[in-house]
Structure 1
Amino acid sequence: MENGRLGAALRMLGLGDTTCRVYLALLELAPAPLTAVGAAAGVGGDDLAAAYGELADAGLASAAGGDGDLVAPVPPAAGLEILARHRAAELEESRLAVGGAFESFRRRRLAAYNDGLVEVVTGEAIGPRMRHAWASAREQIRQFESPPYAPLATATDDALATLARGVRQRVVYSRESLEHPGHLKDVIEPCIEAGEQARVLPSVPVKLLIIDEAYALVSLSIKEADVHNTMLVVQPCGLLSALTALFEQAWRSALPIHGLSARPAGLAPADRRLLRLLAGGATDEVIARELGVSRRTLFRRLQILMTRLGAANRFQMALQAQRSGWL
């Protein structure tokens, strides 16, 4: 794996930039004195000690031989599992913290708010407010996207128009978004091909749209959005900062979905859609429905893709597809 991609993968697991540089140097030189590894990485003193300590704590490095200054990498399986679980725990902790803070905020303050920091929008006013939000974006939109969907006929056109204006758009989709009939083909993929940066998680905690650093549109929860046709407009305040931090945490943990520019020659659009649905956790029934094929045809396509990727099972196929830029 190229150093840049390996470094990015390590940062996604929670290692700092300095620690990543030391680990990459360790892979090149080890077994070697820690000072030599630090010199190759351009790190020394307390920074080097802290970086090596982080690697040792993560189970990725240890002393080699009898000389205490010699260090080497160790088989990473256990360490990577620890890091992955730690990242998942951090995301869950952040989700619970923001969710709890928001519920407390709603119970104690929402009814009494009169200073303009939070506005409640309901019913038919939601559609025009969302269109205004897309049109007002100047630099960046960050979004958690999941069903249920409001009946806004122009929603996809608004997103495409925003992308055409050069606004950066980052979206974390839930698995249900990919499984929603026709949504991957008719909504998600056109936006990705227009330049949207998309990732997917098994679920997202809220339906969220953050416009630049200016304000956010947020539902009370995924469940409540299905029952109450209500949306909050959150102006700059502690709550907006918490929602932004939650998005960034989820973005780092989500699986990227790439566009056509990363597609290898010969990969049919239907196979790309199959891989995206599979990576998102969709069932065989949902994948077959979205592709318009029988389960037998689906299994045949899966076997062909596994053979092309040299994978023995679906998990390996999804992993190899991600590494190859097929997703």
Structure 2
Amino acid sequence: MANARLGEALRLLGIDPPAGRVYLALLELAPAPLSAIGEAAGLDGAGLAAAYGELVDAGLASAAVAGADVVAPVPPAAGLEILARHRAAELEESRITVGGAFESFRRQRLAAYNDNLVEVVTGDAVGPRMRHAWASAREQIRQLDSPPYFPLPGATDDALATLARGVTQRVVYSRASLEVPGQLETAIEPCIEAGEQARVTPAVPVKLVIIDEAYALVSLSIREADVHNTMLVVQPCGLLSALVALFEQTWQAALPLHGRATRPAGLTSADRRLLRLLAGGASDEVVARELGVSRRTFFRRLQILMARLGAENRFQMGSQAQRLGWL
């Protein structure tokens, strides 16, 4: 049993079985003539020479007397140290070889599929791809919203249907979103009332929609080049992770717009819209236009709301409205 365990240990160290048998014979008979060692190990001639040479190379055996046929094992501490260094060098070489092979595979793989990591969608294909994105969401949609908007009939209905399926929807709107004529009343507020978690910020860094953890839609359209209607579809990769982090950072810095809050008695939908527009930084002219009233009427409503909230200025009014959930 001890011989078997020693033979297995030598094999794990890289010693072939014939050389292992010679080493066992050395431990039992040495110092002794090499021929006697070979006879005990069942080897002779070229086979014995090769096996014994392997032990010498590994630092486990040497001639007992210089120039004589008598052989003996080397003290194992020295021999195993040499062998361990050889094995460590071989393992390092193997690690480098395997790592290089995998890196080559990775480069070839990326070269073959690189086009699928970021897809460019343009023109008439943008609309259907956006509608498919909303329909494909299973857990959550994260969005940074800002004009210009791609003309997509039924976009609000798609968002409402997604919310009705129980998909969490978090949206950060830019101030410009609230200032688009009719956008707050017809698109933003219905989604907020349906359960969308909405926030507002002066500007968003990019127009972005993230579907679950699956992919992201990034709009390349800007006011000066809106005619291009170009969008990127980003699949899971480092860029998608960066876009997720960008959304979360923007979300944390934005001002909440509450939905489904209990509306205080006497607070009309127009009053809440007024508060939301002001919270988003809209100008007086824009607020009056969105409410469909004159500037004089707008200021009168503003004074009434400030009085109800006990605020002496607009900043205090916004803080109080936020605290009470009026937004």
TM-score (norm 1): 0.64
Q: Does 2:246 correspond to 1:252? A: no
| CA separation of 1:224 and 1:208: change in aligned 2, threshold 3 A | farther
CA contact (8 A) 1:205 1:221 kept: no
Determine helix, strand or coil for the equivalent of 1:261. Answer: coil
Counterpart-to-counterpart distance in 2, 1:322 and 1:221: 33
Counterpart-to-counterpart distance in 2, 1:208 and 1:115: 20
Counterpart-to-counterpart distance in 2, 1:182 and 1:116: 38
Counterpart-to-counterpart distance in 2, 1:186 and 1:115: 38
Structure 2 partner of 1:121: 121
Structure 1 partner of 2:240: 240
Q: CA deviation at 1:303?
A: 0.5
CA contact (8 A) 2:144 2:207 kept: yes
Determine helix, strand or coil for the equivalent of 1:149. Answer: coil
Determine helix, strand or coil for the equivalent of 1:210. Answer: strand
Q: Does 2:213 correspond to 1:213? A: yes
Structure 2 partner of 1:172: 172
Structure 2 partner of 1:287: 287
| Cα RMSD, aligned residues only | 1.5
Structure 2 partner of 1:270: 270
Counterpart-to-counterpart distance in 1, 2:250 and 2:262: 23
Structure 1 partner of 2:133: 133
Structure 2 partner of 1:153: 153
Structure 2 residue ranges without an equivalent (≥5): 1-111
Counterpart-to-counterpart distance in 2, 1:224 and 1:240: 26
Counterpart-to-counterpart distance in 1, 2:153 and 2:209: 18
Structure 2 partner of 1:302: 302
Q: CA deviation at 1:228?
A: 2.4
Q: How many residues align structurally?
A: 216
Determine helix, strand or coil for the equivalent of 1:200. Answer: strand
* Structure 2 counterparts to residues 195-206 of structure 1, below 5 A: 195-206=195-206
CA contact (8 A) 1:218 1:231 kept: yes
TM-score (norm 2): 0.64
| CA separation of 1:225 and 1:255: change in aligned 2, threshold 3 A | farther
Structure 2 partner of 1:24: none
- Which has the higher Rg, Structure 1 or Structure 2? 2
Q: Percent identity among equivalent residues?
A: 83
Structure 2 partner of 1:185: 185
Q: CA deviation at 1:225?
A: 5.9
Counterpart-to-counterpart distance in 2, 1:225 and 1:244: 25
CA contact (8 A) 2:221 2:228 kept: no
Counterpart-to-counterpart distance in 1, 2:159 and 2:200: 18
* Structure 2 counterparts to residues 25-64 of structure 1, below 5 A: none
Q: Encode CA deviations 1:116-175: one digit per residue, 9 max, x unaligned.
A: 100000000001100110000000000011110111001111101100100000000000
Q: Which amino acid aligns with 1:216?
A: A
| CA separation of 1:129 and 1:225: change in aligned 2, threshold 3 A | farther
Structure 1 partner of 2:163: 163
